[in-house]
Amino acid sequence: MSIIVNILAFIVAIGILVTVHEFGHYWVARRLGVKILRFSIGFGYPLWSRCFGKDKTEFVIAAIPLGGYVKMLDEREGEVAPEEVHRAFNQQSLKVRSAIVFAGPLLNFVFAIFAYAMMYMVGITGMKAFVGDIEPQSVAEKAGLQSGYQIVAVNDKPIIHWEGIIQTTLEQLLNDNDTVTYSVMTEQNRQYDLQVNLTGFSVDDIAGGDFFTKLGFKPYRPPPPATIGKIMPDSPAQQAGLQTGDKVIAMDGQKVINWFDWADYIKQRPGQTMEVEVERNQQQLKLTLIPMEVEGKGRVGVYGPENYTIPDKYQGVERYGLGQALVAGTVKTWQISVLTLRLMGKMLTLQVSYKHMSGPFTIAEYAGKTAKIGISAFLMFLGLVSVSLGVINLMPIPLLDGGHLFFYLIEFIKGSPVTENTEFLLQRIGLTLLLCLMGLAIFNDFERIFS
């Protein structure tokens, strides 16, 4: 079921983003008088096609949902009737051709702004940045962070969720800064600044998910109550008479505060007979439980509560009205665009590992995960991928929009178009480069899947 959700979410996401990109080319070309022959979402065998408008433009949904294209009237691709030569793409001025090509990536950025704006209007709910356990002699301890503190700002920029702290710290690393300032709120509601030393940190530490490990602390998550959720058949829990909904209040006379207390007590006592005191329907019962041994640890075959609600104190909601949401969406799009460019630059100079490149399988996985979380998370995912498509398509690589714009820049400088032989050679180089990058991204996907 999870795989099906991932595939469906991936098709929906790519379908939306490709349609947006190609519509940019289509709309500007139509407005500037160029005839459109086909608007295709996907490649390969047409699953659906219809012709519309006075030009009988063919709209197609094809079988391979990994891109799309807008085919325009062009003398280089076929014979053009004399009365329609003026509507051929190759006959347009340099400004017109540049505008048509640039419109695709531009609309990706515009869509990202609106996706992020909608996300802010719906509201982003996430864990506030409360600090959990601190490792002795760690960077966090040396900086003065303590368990229970809440990080409320980074470099004087207000932060609500952990994501903002990670992103802002990443920006500091990309700027080659060795320190970052965390503004913290103590449990006594006192606020002050702490200097965190980033010496020895790398972008890979954050991109690889080792940010908290390297700093030496854990984000605090309020533990769920010790309430029994699902019980596995023929498990020690079932044999002891435990039922879904039972609240564990004591083990061998020792009070149980939360699920972690109960789980830790069980893990440390495989094969031992113990007395469990539970609350069921406002009555207290005592049961005998013997955990089985699995890899040297005690297991009883139960899951925690499925519908546990995190207390409001630890959750932050970021929500704006339409005007503020559009401003925040624009700022977010700019930040992600700059961040993407910097990461790509660091990757090209081998300062960031190529292993952080993601292919279609990883994108599909994240599409499914965010779709299951909710509309706000899925909008964030759409905005991120839309920005990435916009940035990548503007790279001066032949076959991409940026490659065409690069050819037009050469044409502007030298006063004449690039020769067909030169363009063909560069396009072959560009195709080889794109295939290598795609192969590397897919290799990374498989390595993540099977590691």
Looking at the chain, the number of H-run helices and the number of E-run strands are 13, 16
Q: How far, in Å, CA of 15 to CA of 8, rounded?
A: 10
Cα atoms found within 13 Å of the Cα of residue 172, Cβ hemisphere only: 22
Residues 381-399 as b or e (16 or more Cβ within 10 Å = b): bbbbbbbbbbbbbbbebbe
DSSP SS3 for 147 = coil
- What are the CA-CA distances from residue 390 to residues 15, 334, 437 (Å)? 15, 12, 17
Strand 274-280 relative to strand 283-289: parallel, antiparallel, unpaired? antiparallel
Rounded to whole angstroms, how far apart are CA atoms 42 and 69?
Answer: 8
How many Å apart are CA 371 and CA 382, to the nearest integer? 10
For residues 59 and 46, what is the distance between their CA atoms, to the nearest angstrom? 10
Tokens 């690393």 correspond to what residue?
173
Q: Which residues are catalytic?
A: 22
- Count CB neighbours of 229 within 10 A: 16
**The tokens 């109550």 sit on which residue?**
225
CA–CA distance, 397 with 103 (Å, rounded to integer): 17
What does the DSSP assignment read for 121-138?
A: HH-EEEEB-BEEEE-TT-
